Structure 1
Amino acid sequence: MNEHNPIAQLVNNIQRAWLEKISGKPALKLVRMVIKPEESRVYEGFVKLESSAHGSLPEVFVTHLTDFEDEDTYSAALIKDWLETYNNSTALLQEMEQRNAGFTWDPKPFAQGKSDEDLLRMLASFQRALPAKQQLVLVLLPRQVSNTRDMRNWLTTILKKGIPSGVKLLVLDHLNNEQFAMHDRQFPDMLCTIHVPMDLHAAIRKLGGSGDPNNPEIMMRKCVFEMGEALKDKDVKRLHRWGQAALDCTQKSGNKGLFATAHIMYAGMLFHFKRDPQIPLLLERGQRISKQGVQQGDTACLPLLVQFYGYQGAYAQIRRRFTEAINWFIQQAEMAQLHNFSQQALNAWYQAAELCRRKDAGRYYDILEKGYLAGLPLSDEEVSASIYIYLLRDYYDYAHSKKMTDVINGIDEKMGRLFGTDWKTDVDTIRKNRMPMNLPLEMENL
């Protein structure tokens, strides 16, 4: 890790806090890191680092993103994911061997495990296989949590049943909205809360301004940061000033991918000012630049072109031009699918289908079917982590109404394998509680 990187320094602060409060205290069983939502990526970076061969803490970290569906099935889901990861990932085994010479562990006794007790026995067995009596930290970062109260109940149950010696659980909780806090008197000496104050804003500003100030990428990062600050202050005039600066510096670079990126970032910021006349101009010009880049062989421009289609659809939807929006999303889906951008394709098919369902019912089932077919090649892991579960849920109802027995059985088998017999209820719950879909381009893709 680059020690001079301001984000890396924040991770170092977390590591120091861990050493001070956690390491060398075997009685601790549940560690709760209390964070601000905007700090989540820093903490995810921390656990990702410590779960790799490059971690510096004395414990062995194993991170799982297993969805939390309910407290009765979570242990079984964790066991399943743990064993699949262990059996299928040679990279993981190599990392473990690199960090722990002579490490061997037999997963076979836990192949049929489903209960809380089975999970605890598996963790104890794995920890005993670690040399030098290293502590094991199971990091729980569920991609989705159906009910935080149920997950808290699950944690309480696991603590009551007895987390094995040498094993700890780690969860993230949100400052001022803590869901997993427990009374120390219920579990004396077993709980620890860590909160590491950090000035993420200053670190991002410092990171954005680091490097050669004449480098167009560095200059654009600064412009994007300042646009974000202007947006936070609802200062559209300042946003336009920095947006134009981003266009100017990237145009001079001659890099079409960078120039197109400046357009889409600038337009995306302006989406918060829906009637701003610059939005359609930026989208049209950025899309044209991306097409030129694709024709000239600039590989960065193809995913940007796909994203521009999505932005065009989102803008048309904002302007209540629903037929136009649907057509843009379909174009995005078809292009993404053509170039094997599977997740972008599925997101676009779902957006098109949902818009058809509400505004153009005559096209709904045709679009829904295309989305269903687009996701058939996905692996189980890709299905469970994507929006495809909603397409499957909706297409299942359509197939049922048309008595498409083979399709019904196929979806039932797949989703039952992933979510259990009550998969339809579970998916409905996940969809009800899910966060709104983001715009087609995330800041992290910059």
Structure 2
Amino acid sequence: MTTSPSIGQEFYKVRDAWAVADADKHWKLAIWLVQYADVDIIDKFLETERTAIGVFKEIFFRFDTPYQDDHEAWEKALWEEYISWFEPVSNSDYDIYGALKKDRLLKEDYQPDLRLKPCVQSIWKELLRFKSLIAGLEDIGCCIYFPPLRPDCPDAGDWYADVLKKGLPDGIRLVTIDIVTNPRITLSKKILTEQVTLLQPPLEMVEAVKNDMDKGGGNSDSVSIDARFRKQIRKVMDCTTQQDAGVLGNEVALLLSLCKKMGGAAYQVSGQMIAAQAYFMIRETDKSAGYADKAIAQSRQLMNANDPAGYPTWKSCVMIKAAILVGKKKRKQAIALYEELAHEAANKADAFMILEGYRLCGHLYYELGQLNIAFENLLLALTGGSYLELEVRRQSTFLHAAAMAVHLCEKARGPEDLKILQERLQEQLGNDWATLLQSEGMDKATVRRKSNLFEFN
């Protein structure tokens, strides 16, 4: 009898796969080679192993500094992240070093040796020294987790190969995650054979998530309407892969019927928003726009009533409607919507949507040939985005806004304005801002759409 997979079962598959790898003491780098849908469960497993409830003996550490193609600069940033672990923190709940001292688990005080070269070899050395000072952990190894690279990141295979070539000391092993359909870690067969273990458990996370969503979602009226609602959402979104407007129409009608049964304006608005998204995904733009208009109007009423469900739905539907207008080359109407989005986001202190609203306005003004007003909108986008955390700015569409702003400043403004902008970007992104803006994919930020692109058939 076949058992439908659950999230819990998939977690234990991951744990069992690691148990097999853990028993093999020859490898120095473990790579989980999986699908996108499987990344989260593996990340959760590795995060669990960093806590007291982890079941494996190795001590797990994690580095979050984003990968850079400049290996020397990246290793310096990793060293700085390591040093930051031992700096005082305001909340004692997050002070691991302080907790070790309080519990008298440290044999003596520890601070990183700042005289060492800022590179990963220094991190290995210091980690082992730190571990040797913790009572009871002297003979236990360290496993260092580097999260998966973003799809637009350069290939990190050369860095991993160099690290393995230089050698990892006993007691230090590395683990990371790579995507089988878009690998970001390319290694030679020799390295893979001698020092790397690949973990490819047969996971079924998509089915597991669907099964968990379906729990309690039968057809009987006695079953929770809320569960049926969640199940129906999945059915609607599943229809978008079939590109069949007729099938989608039936499922949308069932969804909206359930929304009425659940009562409350928030559910009805959610149903309209999901319908708008689904029709947008199968390029039925007129139907999508119709549902989006209804959801925008209804969610605006919720916002006026200070209902917290109003704004998230409103901004999602505004983005859908504006994208449809852009696709139909109705740029001025789209600009008006994006401006309204940015203004409302400012009222809600939503820094990311301030960034997006003004960034998209800037790009559309650029397409219209109005370079000065485009530049002004991009400056507003950068101002809104400056309220995001540094690492978010360095990994988000903030970079696209910055690249476009530099491009327009060079075209429409003088060298003094460009110098001011560059100084501002250094403050907002760091000393390597220029390198970030030259990374893979940034060249597309300043490309005007051709007449035959983003048109709907």
Could you state the TM-score of these two structures normalised by the residue count of structure 1? 0.84
| Range that drifts further, 207-216 or 298-307 | 207-216
2:277 maps to which residue? 268
1:444 maps to which residue? none
Q: Is the 8 A contact 1:49 1:55 kept in 2?
A: yes
Matching of residues 116-265 of structure 1 within 5 Å: 116-129=120-133, 131-132=136-137, 133-141=139-147, 144=150, 148-149=154-155, 151-175=156-180, 177-180=182-185, 182=187, 185-186=190-191, 190-211=195-216, 213=218, 214-265=223-274
Q: Distance in 2 between matches of 1:142 and 1:397?
A: 31
Q: Distance in 1 between matches of 2:20 and 2:14?
A: 10
1:45 maps to which residue? 44
Q: Distance in 1 between matches of 2:80 and 2:148?
A: 14
Q: Distance in 1 between matches of 2:190 and 2:214?
A: 48
Structure 1 pair 81/94, CA: closer, same or farther in 2 (3 Å)? closer
Q: 1:311 aligns with which of 314, 320, 338?
A: 320
Structure with larger Rg = 2
Q: Is the 8 A contact 1:26 1:165 kept in 2?
A: no
Report deviation, 1:206.
Answer: 0.9
Report deviation, 1:196.
Answer: 0.9
**Which amino acid in 1 is paired with 2:27?**
L
Q: Is the 8 A contact 1:224 1:246 kept in 2?
A: yes
Matched, 1:370 2:375: no
Q: Is the 8 A contact 1:146 1:433 kept in 2?
A: no
Helix, strand or coil at the partner of 1:138: strand
Report deviation, 1:9.
Answer: 2.3
Helix, strand or coil at the partner of 1:32: strand
Q: Is the 8 A contact 2:352 2:388 kept in 1?
A: no
Structure 1 pair 229/383, CA: closer, same or farther in 2 (3 Å)? closer
Q: Distance in 1 between matches of 2:239 and 2:98?
A: 46
Matched, 1:93 2:102: no
- What residue ranges of structure 1 are gaps of 5+ in the alignment? 436-446
Structure 1 pair 122/322, CA: closer, same or farther in 2 (3 Å)? farther
Structure 1 pair 123/384, CA: closer, same or farther in 2 (3 Å)? farther
Render the CA deviation track for 1:148-174: whole Å, top value 9, x for unaligned: 43x101001111112222222112122
Q: Distance in 2 between matches of 1:239 and 1:103?
A: 61
Q: Distance in 1 between matches of 2:86 and 2:409?
A: 37
Report deviation, 1:76.
Answer: 1.6
Render the CA deviation track for 1:15-56: whole Å, top value 9, x for unaligned: 11101222x444421001010123223223333333344434
Report deviation, 1:268.
Answer: 1.0
Q: Distance in 2 between matches of 1:201 and 1:356?
A: 40
Q: Is the 8 A contact 1:73 1:114 kept in 2?
A: no
**Which amino acid in 2 is paired with 1:48?**
E
Structure 1 pair 148/406, CA: closer, same or farther in 2 (3 Å)? closer
Q: Distance in 2 between matches of 1:235 and 1:361?
A: 40
Q: Distance in 2 between matches of 1:110 and 1:359?
A: 53
**Which amino acid in 1 is paired with 2:128?**
A
Structure 1 pair 123/359, CA: closer, same or farther in 2 (3 Å)? farther
Report deviation, 1:62.
Answer: 2.6
| Range that drifts further, 75-84 or 28-37 | 75-84
- What residue ranges of structure 2 are gaps of 5+ in the alignment? 446-457
Structure 1 pair 60/247, CA: closer, same or farther in 2 (3 Å)? farther
Render the CA deviation track for 1:234-271: whole Å, top value 9, x for unaligned: 22222221122222112221233332222222211211
Q: Is the 8 A contact 1:53 1:95 kept in 2?
A: no
Helix, strand or coil at the partner of 1:367: helix
Q: Distance in 1 between matches of 2:183 and 2:270?
A: 37
Q: Give identity over the alignment, percent.
A: 15
**Which amino acid in 1 is paired with 2:145?**
V
1:81 maps to which residue? 81
Q: Is the 8 A contact 2:266 2:309 kept in 1?
A: yes
Q: Distance in 2 between matches of 1:236 and 1:41?
A: 32
Matched, 1:296 2:305: yes
**Which amino acid in 2 is paired with 1:57?**
F
Q: Is the 8 A contact 1:330 1:348 kept in 2?
A: yes
Report deviation, 1:339.
Answer: 0.8
Matching of residues 430-445 of structure 1 within 5 Å: 430-432=440-442
Q: Distance in 2 between matches of 1:408 and 1:178?
A: 34
Report deviation, 1:103.
Answer: 5.2
Q: What is the Cα-based RMSD across aligned positions, in Å? A: 3.2
Structure 1 pair 188/205, CA: closer, same or farther in 2 (3 Å)? closer
Structure 1 pair 56/304, CA: closer, same or farther in 2 (3 Å)? farther
Render the CA deviation track for 1:180-217: whole Å, top value 9, x for unaligned: 35456447653211111022232122111113654343
Structure 1 pair 13/343, CA: closer, same or farther in 2 (3 Å)? same
| Range that drifts further, 259-268 or 122-131 | 122-131
Q: Is the 8 A contact 1:34 1:175 kept in 2?
A: yes
Structure 1 pair 90/433, CA: closer, same or farther in 2 (3 Å)? farther
Q: Distance in 2 between matches of 1:263 and 1:56?
A: 46
Q: Is the 8 A contact 1:86 1:92 kept in 2?
A: no
**Which amino acid in 2 is paired with 1:426?**
L
Structure 1 pair 142/187, CA: closer, same or farther in 2 (3 Å)? closer
2:35 maps to which residue? 36
**Which amino acid in 1 is paired with 2:363?**
E
Report deviation, 1:364.
Answer: 0.5
Could you state the TM-score of these two structures normalised by the residue count of structure 2? 0.82
Structure 1 pair 81/36, CA: closer, same or farther in 2 (3 Å)? same
Q: Distance in 2 between matches of 1:433 and 1:168?
A: 37
